[in-house]
């Protein structure tokens, strides 16, 4: 893989995380609205979208660590990925 490809992949990962973060914030606000409006269908729909986004972020993080040779980066990202995976947003049970 060329340096340009590595840079492009890293930027795409960063851009996706920024997109996911903004989307999660929007869906969280919609969940608050659903609670205020007593709309369980909207609440379930938006919560599921948040969980899917969080799982996609986990997949992107995994891909980035798989493609990295930087042990410190891998350890840092893996620790945060594990923390996210343990969070309530990524569990469907």
Contacts of 80 (CB under 8 A, 6+ apart): 61
**Two tokens, residue 82:** 């594990």
Q: What is the mean pLDDT of each run of 10 residues along the chain (93 residues)?
A: 52 75 93 95 93 84 84 85 71 50
Cα 40 from chain centroid (whole Å): 24
pLDDT value of position 91: 54
Q: Look at the block and give the residue holding tokens 């969080």.
A: 54
Segments forming the whole domain that contains residue 45 = 3-90
Measure the CA–CA gap between 67 and 6, rounded to whole angstroms. Answer: 9
pLDDT value of position 43: 94
**Two tokens, residue 73:** 């980066």
| Domains in the chain, number | 1
Measure the CA–CA gap between 55 and 69, rounded to whole angstroms. Answer: 23
Count other Cβ atoms within 10 Å, centred on residue 22: 11
Measure the CA–CA gap between 6 and 28, rounded to whole angstroms. Answer: 33
pLDDT value of position 7: 46
């Amino acid at each position: 893989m060329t340096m340009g490809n590595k840079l492009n992949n890293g930027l795409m990962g960063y851009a996706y995380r920024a997109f996911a973060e903004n989307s999660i914030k929007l869906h969280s606000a919609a969940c608050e609205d659903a609670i205020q409006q007593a709309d369980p269908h909207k609440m379930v729909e938006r919560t599921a979208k948040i969980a899917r986004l969080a799982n996609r972020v986990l997949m992107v993080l995994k891909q980035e660590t798989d493609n990295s040779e930087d042990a410190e980066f891998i350890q840092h990202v893996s620790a945060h990925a594990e923390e996210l995976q343990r969070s309530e947003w990524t569990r469907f049970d």
